[in-house]
A = this chain, B = another copy of it.
């Protein structure tokens, strides 16, 4: 039995790869692990069956035999450890790579996600313009720091790792904005990640799922 993940039945991003199942699909493709997808409506996500998988009613979840996991970061880390992929074996390099996973999700993503959410939910509010400027300043600070660390390197910490996989997944949300171009090395970093065959396969799979649900 292949592992089963959950994903939006119809992703609010209309198949742009921004939903968090994309990270898990990408990781599963990197390790060559076939998987099945259980699409969920917004109603189904709030039902007891799904809350038993994820107490916060979010996607993705991951079920493999007796193990049920939630949180995209935890699922990606579990797969990296279990399959010995995209995570250095040297203890110090491994710890640093995990630091980049937390940095992507706890230091960079909140600013980026808040910006996306505000664009959708507060566009008609009188404070919209002023708030967006505050949020963009927060993102600029993080991107400048990320850019300074990256410098001329291809990846954040040695070879491509689960740290890069999560960081690129977060930057993908800025792909259509000019924020990614204020430093010269960030869009090329994202593009390198997107060109990985495993990314492409994962992207195509989530896009096909959206297109099928939308017809």
Chain A positions within 8 Å of B, measured between CB atoms, are: 51, 55-58, 66-67, 69-75, 77-78, 91-92, 95-96, 98-99, 101-103, 105-107, 109-110, 113-114, 125-127, 130-131, 142, 145-146, 148-149
Given A78-B95, A125-B127, CB of A103 within 8 Å of CB of B145: no
Q: Which residue of B lies closest to A73 (CB)?
A: B102
Give min CB distance, A129 to chain B, whole Å.
12
Can you offer 9 A-B residue contacts whose CB atoms are under 8 A? Answer: A51-B148, A56-B103, A67-B92, A73-B106, A74-B98, A77-B98, A105-B106, A126-B127, A127-B127
Given A56-B107, A57-B145, A102-B105, CB of A95 within 8 Å of CB of B69: yes
Q: Is the interface of A mostly helix, strand, loop or mixed?
A: helix
Give min CB distance, A72 to chain B, whole Å.
8
Q: Which residue of B lies closest to A156 (CB)?
A: B55
| Measured CA separation A71–B99 after assembly (Å) | 6
Whether A95 and B74, one on each chain, are in contact in the complex, defined by CB atoms closer than 8 angstroms, is yes
Whether B110 and A110, one on each chain, are in contact in the complex, defined by CB atoms closer than 8 angstroms, is yes
**Contact residue among B58, B103, B125 (Cβ-Cβ distance under 8 Å from A71):** B103
Q: A130 to chain B: which residues have CB within 8 Å?
A: 125
Please name 14 further chain A to chain B contacts, defined as beta carbons within 8 Å, in addition to the given A51-B145, A58-B107, A69-B99, sorted by A numbering. A51-B148, A55-B103, A55-B146, A56-B142, A56-B145, A67-B91, A67-B96, A70-B103, A71-B103, A102-B105, A106-B106, A110-B114, A114-B114, A125-B130
